[in-house]
Each structure stands twice: as C-alpha cells, then as structure tokens.
Amino acid sequence: MEIRLSRAEYDLINKIRSRDTSVRIEELGVPKSTAMALIELLRSKGLVEIKEIVQESYALTERGRRYLEKGFPEEILSKISRNRKIYLSEASESPPFKKEPKLLEAAIGELRKKGVIEFGKDEKGFFIFFKSPPEVPERELLKRLQAGEKLSKKDISLLAKRGLIKREVKKTLLIRPLPVKAELVVEVAKLNRRLLESGEWRNVRLKRYDVSASPPEVFAGKPHPYALLLDEVRDILIGMGFREVKSPIVEAEFWNFDVLFQAQDHPAREVHDSYMIAWPNRPADLEQYKDLIEKVRSAHENGFTTGSSGWGYSWSFDIARRLILRSQMTAASARSLAEGLEIPSKIFAIDKVFRPENLDRTHAAEFYQCEGVVLAEDLNVRHLMGFLKEFVLQLGFKEVRFKPAYFPFTEPSVEAYVKHEDLGWLEIAGSGLFRPEMMVPLGYDFPRVQALAWGIGIGRLAMLRLGLDDIRDLHSQDLDYLRKHPLIF
C-alpha cells in the first residue's frame, strides 16, 4: 500500500518522525500558515495526530500597572482627606482628580461600595465623610499576580471587574506522528529537468489526472449590464445620425426651467420636487447671456414676440440664478440650442438626473434619462412619432403606441408606450414640439424651424430588457447576479 505525498508533505512528515516525542508547530521551522495547511493534509491521510493545548493566564492592564505604581483612586482620595471630611469641590481641584475627573468618580464609587463613606451637605456644598479608612485588597492581589502566583476565581473576578487585569489565552498545537505501515511516496504533478537529471524521477510517482473532473469556474471581467444597455442606446442614436451633448450636474434653474418656458411658480420648481444646492451658496454666473435673459424674461411675462400672452407674472432673475441638481436632461438641450445649432441638427444626451422621490421598486432619487432633439424645417408630429418608433424598434420592442399628453414646454405633446409580454402597455417617453415661447427667444425662425424633443426613462426600459422588477437592481453589486448575467441580451 502506498500513501502519495507532495514533496513538502514528505519532507515535513520526515521532520516530525525524526523527533522522539510530539513536536510543537513552532519547532518545525516552517511558516505557521504553511505548516498548518500541510499538517491538516497529513492528518487527513492518517499520518499525524493533532492536539491543541490551551493555556490561560492573566496579566495586568495599563490601569492595573498605573494603580499599583501611583496608587488606587480611593487611596488617593483617602490620603487627601486624611480619612476625615472633604468637600467635592476641594477634591475635584486636587491632583490627579483635576486632570482626570473620572478618577474621582471611580474613587467615590469604590468607597461607597466598600461602605466606608457617607455624603452630606452644608452651606459650603456637598462633602464626603469617612467613617473608617478604606481597605484595598486589590493592591496585594496585583502584587501576587505579578509574582506569578495563581489566584482564586473570586480574586480574579474582583480584579477583572475593575479592569485591572486581562485574560490571555495561548494555544499550542502538538503534532504526534502515527504508526503507519504504508509506504510513503513522493507524488509530483509533472516531470521537470531537475528530476530527470538527478535521477530522482525513479523514486517519485506522477499524480493521477481525473479527466472527468470539471475545470475551475472562471469569471471574466465584463461591463455592468446596465452600462451595456446605456452604450447600446448611444450606439442606436449615433447610428440614426444624432450627436451626444453634455450639461453640468449642478445646474442653474435658468437652464433647467426658465429657458424651457416653465413658470417660476410651477410645482416642479419647489424644494420637494428639486434638490436645492446649499453649497456653493453663490448664484450661477449668467452675465454672458444678458440678451437671452431679457428675451426669456419677456417670454414669461408677456410672451415676447410669439403672439402668446406668456405667464403674466413678474419674472425673477434671482430665482433663475438659483443652483439645483439637474432634474431633467432637457437642460442639456436648452444649452445646446442657446449656442446656435446648425439647421438641420440632431442631438441627444444620456446622463443622471436627480429628483426627491420616496425610494421604492419603481422610483429612485437619481436615475438616467435620455433626451433627444431634432432641429429642422417643416417638422411635425408625424416626424416625431417616426423617430421614436424607429428608436424603440431598434431596442428590440415590437409594438409602440402614442397618445396625446401635456408637458410645459412642448405643444403638441405625445406619450410613447411599448408592449411588454407580461406587463402590457408601459409608458416609456414623453415628447412633443418645443413651444414658440422657448424657440423664439433662443433665436430660431419659428414656425419655419421646429424642434422635436423627447425624454425617455432609460431605467424603465432597462428593467424590461433585463427582466428586473425593482429599479434599485439596475445598480446591483451582487457578484452572483453580475457573473451569471449574459454579456449579450
């Protein structure tokens, strides 16, 4: 009978067998972590026996050493008072109690526990009266412990409760070789040059290979499924001739609302619907847009030159300068339109927006939104629905429907719905043609030049595509889920 061992196991068992008695793991001359692993393998093969010896001891804590050297708090207070009467105000001003007020609390607590003091009060304040000098058996017990004497459980408990000693446990592993009649053979995974040249190959055995065993599972790095979907959306829009634009996360209300002809008393501009910025507390710098600011003001107050009556209120520049966390990607479209886009142009933006929501399976406080704008002459709602239908079909949905809707900065407006096999018709986008009160102040020849716009909740589409029922799972860090999710879906 043979017992096959690795070279390391073989060398270690011979070292253990060379001793007459059991050997401590520290005496093997091998790093402890390595020795533990090898010994466990030897034990599983019936070659050694492992015995753990636990040694318990107690040592003085830092507090115990300090009390033993400088005196126990109750001893110090007793000495200061000369075992008579002392006012608390006087005691608290005495060293070391002035430096460490908690020592005075400890002293009073121990003296009360030992029943040697009483409290009183007169015109000068509260005082302590010593009925008898305190006994401090802990001092003698600490000295005995330091000298290596074994204390009773009662004495140990007394010292431990005061935090004067700490328990120390030392574990020692003893390894004893077991008598085995089998032949010990060194096993190697493969032959190498050293084995061949030295002739040692004659004394080793090649490790058996189990061709039926499954290979180790390997998890290759790959993008997050949600990140993949966002990239797919970008690829589709770029393939349709769109150009991506950006805007800052911290945005002025001017770009997020005012340029979009969203009234300053609109509910979406309240603190419960937008994140207001507390810092930096300075307003947005809009000095370079003075001409546009006056046109936007006029559009809000009286409709500017659009023929509209506007909102009919006194527009506030201070409100427009307030900083918020971007609540809609239309802010990126507003900035791009203000720069003066060529006609025709197609732009889109995909990024995070922020809204104060009660977090649940269908609502998040921050989420991705996809905004698209087509700027050209003689556009109408049929063009808008055509763009949206093409986009949705390329995402893999087979059916799309539209219905009329209302949005503050588009007219006419429509909502887009897609068909889900299990959930039925789901809204995925709001869209429309930008209103003249937005287009004319930005310098476009309305109605000859029109702008189609839509905002898509990418999170909802992603949930449908990824088979999720909780929007929070879009940002999952569950490694098991991420490893098993297919790279292509």
Interatomic CA distance for residues 82 and 72, integer angstroms: 15
Alpha carbons 125 and 93: distance in angstroms, whole number: 14
Q: What is the mean pLDDT of the chain?
A: 88
- Rg of the chain over all Cα atoms, to the nearest angstrom: 41
What local confidence, expressed as pLDDT, does residue 298 receive? 95
- Residue 381 identity: V
183-188 vs 2-5, strand pairing mode: parallel
β-strand partners of 176: 49
Distances in Å between the Cα of 288 and the Cα atoms of 297, 338, 339 are 15, 12, 12
Residue 486's pLDDT is 75
pLDDT value of residue 280: 78
Q: Where are the domains of the chain?
A: 2-57+175-206, 62-167, 226-484
Written as six digits, the tokens of 204 are 């080793």
What is the DSSP secondary-structure string of 192-216? -HHHHHHTGGGGEEEPP--TTSPPP
Strand, coil or helix: what is 67? helix
Please state, in angstroms and rounded to a whole number, the distance separating the CA atoms of residues 430 and 251. 22
Q: What one-character DSSP code corresponds to residue 200?
A: G
Q: What burial class does residue 376 get, using C-beta atoms within 10 Å of its C-beta: 0-12 exposed, 13-18 middle, 19+ buried? A: middle
Q: How far apart are CA 389 and CA 398, in angstroms?
A: 10
- Sequence length of the chain is 489
From the candidate CATH numbers 3.20.20.80, 2.40.240.10, 3.30.930.10, 3.20.20.70, the one assigned to the domain spanning 226-484: 3.30.930.10
Regions of the chain where pLDDT drops below 70? 271-272, 488-489
What's the pLDDT at 489?
Answer: 54
Cα separation, 79 vs 226, whole angstroms: 73
User: What pTM value is reported for the model?
Assistant: 0.58
pLDDT at residue 266, as a whole number: 82
Segment 175-186, tens digit of pLDDT: 888 888 877 877
Helices (H) and strands (E) in the chain, counts: 18, 18
CA nearest to 444, candidates 305, 255, 298:
305
